[in-house]
A and B are shown apart, each in its own frame.
Chain A
Amino acid sequence: MKKIEQISNIQYTLANEFNIKKLIGKNVISQSGELVGKVKNIYIKDYRIIGILVKKFMNFEIFIQNEFFDSFTPEAIILKIDPVTELIGLKVFDKNGKKLGKITRILREGIKNTLIAIFVKKGIFRSEIKISLNDIQTISEFVILKKEFEDLDL
Chain B
Amino acid sequence: MMNEEKKDDILKDERYILSTDNILGKDVIDKSGQSIGVVNQVHIDKLDKNIIGISIDSGFMKPLVFVGIDLIVNFGVDSVYIQQTPRSRYIDMIVFDNIGVIVGKVKNVYFKDESFEISHIKIKVSMLKSLLLDVKYVKRIGRNIFLNISKRNVKILLRKQN
- Shortest A25–chain B CB gap in Å is 14
User: A137 — which chain B residues lie within 8 A by C-beta?
Assistant: 33
- Shortest B92–chain A CB gap in Å is 13
Those of B91-106 within 8 Å (CB) of chain A: 93-94, 96, 98-101
Q: Does A103 make an interface contact (CB < 8 A)?
A: no
A75-B77 contact given A140-B33, A141-B33, A142-B27, CB 8 Å threshold = no
A29 to B97, CA, bound (A): 12
User: A77 — which chain B residues lie within 8 A by C-beta?
Assistant: 100
Q: Does B34 make an interface contact (CB < 8 A)?
A: yes
Among listed B4-12, B45-53, B107-115, B137-145, interface-contacting one: B137-145
Among listed A2-10, A31-39, A107-115, interface-contacting one: A31-39
Considering the complex, give the chain B residue whose CB is closest to the CB of A139. Answer: B33
Q: Are B33 and A76 in contact (CB under 8 A)?
A: no
A29-B100 contact given A96-B77, A97-B81, A142-B29, CB 8 Å threshold = yes
User: A99 — which chain B residues lie within 8 A by C-beta?
Assistant: 77-79
- Shortest B52–chain A CB gap in Å is 20
Q: Does A138 make an interface contact (CB < 8 A)?
A: yes
Q: Are A91 and B27 in contact (CB under 8 A)?
A: yes
A44 to B77, CA, bound (A): 51
Considering the complex, give the chain A residue whose CB is closest to the CB of B93. Answer: A33
User: B93 — which chain A residues lie within 8 A by C-beta?
Assistant: 33
Those of B3-27 within 8 Å (CB) of chain A: 26-27
Q: Are A76 and B75 in contact (CB under 8 A)?
A: no
- Shortest B118–chain A CB gap in Å is 15
A71-B76 contact given A141-B33, A142-B27, A142-B35, CB 8 Å threshold = no
Residue from the list A27, A75, A97, A142 in contact with B33, Cβ < 8 A: A142
Q: Does B74 make an interface contact (CB < 8 A)?
A: yes
- Interface hub of B26, B27, B98, B143 (most chain A Cβ within 10 A): B143
User: Which interface class (under 10, 10 to 19, 20 to 34, 35 or more) fits B?
Assistant: 20 to 34
Q: Are A33 and B78 in contact (CB under 8 A)?
A: no
A94 to B27, CA, bound (A): 13
Q: Are B144 and A75 in contact (CB under 8 A)?
A: no
User: B27 — which chain A residues lie within 8 A by C-beta?
Assistant: 91, 93, 142
User: A118 — which chain B residues lie within 8 A by C-beta?
Assistant: none
Q: Are B99 and A138 in contact (CB under 8 A)?
A: no
Q: Are A71 and B98 in contact (CB under 8 A)?
A: yes
- Shortest B138–chain A CB gap in Å is 11
Q: Are A73 and B100 in contact (CB under 8 A)?
A: yes
A151 to B29, CA, bound (A): 22
User: B101 — which chain A residues lie within 8 A by C-beta?
Assistant: 75-76
Q: Are A78 and B96 in contact (CB under 8 A)?
A: yes
A71 to B96, CA, bound (A): 12
Q: Does B32 make an interface contact (CB < 8 A)?
A: yes
| 14 A-B contact pairs sorted by A residue (CB < 8 Å) | A32-B140, A33-B93, A71-B98, A76-B99, A76-B100, A94-B76, A97-B29, A97-B74, A98-B78, A99-B77, A141-B29, A141-B33, A142-B33, A142-B79
